[in-house]
Amino acid sequence: MSGLARFARRVDALSTRVGETSAWLYPLLVAVLVANVALRYGLGRGSVGLEELQWHLAATAYLLGMAYAYASDEHVRVDLLRARFGPRVHAAIELAGALLLLLPFAAVATWHAADLFAGSVAMGERSPMPGGLPARWVLKGVLAAALALLALQGLATAARSLEALRGRDPEGGR
């Protein structure tokens, strides 16, 4: 197995582990939603903290699932002609898409998200609402980490595509 194939396999495993773990945030999100609805409509008591926790959980689960969706080829495709071409053309399209579209976007977005995260930590950013969550910077850190993982997954996809274009099995064979 080549170094590129090993790298791609390791990144895929990381993205899968992170994505499958983050999926467990959805049942927690449902529990928070049910608790918030019960408090609001059953007891007449709303909770800003629970409302903010809802969108923090939803955003975290979604963001951490991006690289997993890409790794497992479950993302949305706009490639209208894909079905008409063979594996080498698919690999060329994937390589071009990763290098020309995904990686530049992910690099710039990660850079800015990391800057937002650092600024948020430095100022101890918290919710401006009374009763809101005390650490808004956590979600900004998740954003930066999720974008970095997406960029890493883009590199893995590019490596796998390059292996396929070289005539090697991108899963590690020859």
Burial class (CB in 10 A: 0-12, 13-18, 19+), 141: middle
Distance, CA of 168 to CA of 109 (rounded, Å): 32
Question: CB–CB of 3/159 below 8 Å?
Answer: no
Helices 48-71 and 25-37, interaxial angle, to 10°?
Answer: 160
> Which residues of the chain are under the pLDDT cut of 50?
173-174
For residue 35, the one-letter residue type is: A
pLDDT at 3: 87
pLDDT at 79: 67
Neighbours of 72 (CB within 10 A): 14
pLDDT at 163: 93
Q: Which helix (H) or strand (E) holds 41?
A: none
pLDDT tens, residue by residue, 96-124: 999 999 999 999 999 999 999 999 999 99
